[in-house]
Amino acid sequence: MKLEIPNSIDDHISAFPPETQHLLQQVRDTIKAVAPEATETISYGIPTFQFHGNLVHFAGYAHHIGFYPGASSIREFTKDLSGYKTSKGTIQFPLDKPIPFDLVRRITEFRLAENLEKAKEK
């Protein structure tokens, strides 16, 4: 599925089948619950939350939801992520398995703390 770059997170989510839309909205809501002050935008062509810089990104795909919390999060949550495909700053949550929303929440909390610490240092 080739997607055009969306103008908003709503546009991105609406491009998917209803079941995937529901999961993407739940990921979005989970992030918003942790970081209500974060700004929603499109960056790198995908949904992004910014708070003192990039906080996390996420995106829907044909067979998974990509969650992009950065390399530090992948290192910090290595044990929790052992059942998922990961790379330097990316996690893939397959659509045919339950999305670990608690893990999304904890990783977002970690990133929020990192960004707040960096902001204090400036």
- For the stretch 57-110, pLDDT in tens is 999 999 999 999 999 999 999 999 999 999 999 999 999 999 999 999 999 999
pLDDT digits (tens, 9 = 90+) for 13-39: 999 999 999 999 999 999 999 999 999
The CATH fold assigned to 9-116 is Aspartate Aminotransferase, domain 1 (3.90.1150)
Structure tokens at 22: 């529901």
Domain boundaries of the chain, sorted by first residue: 9-116
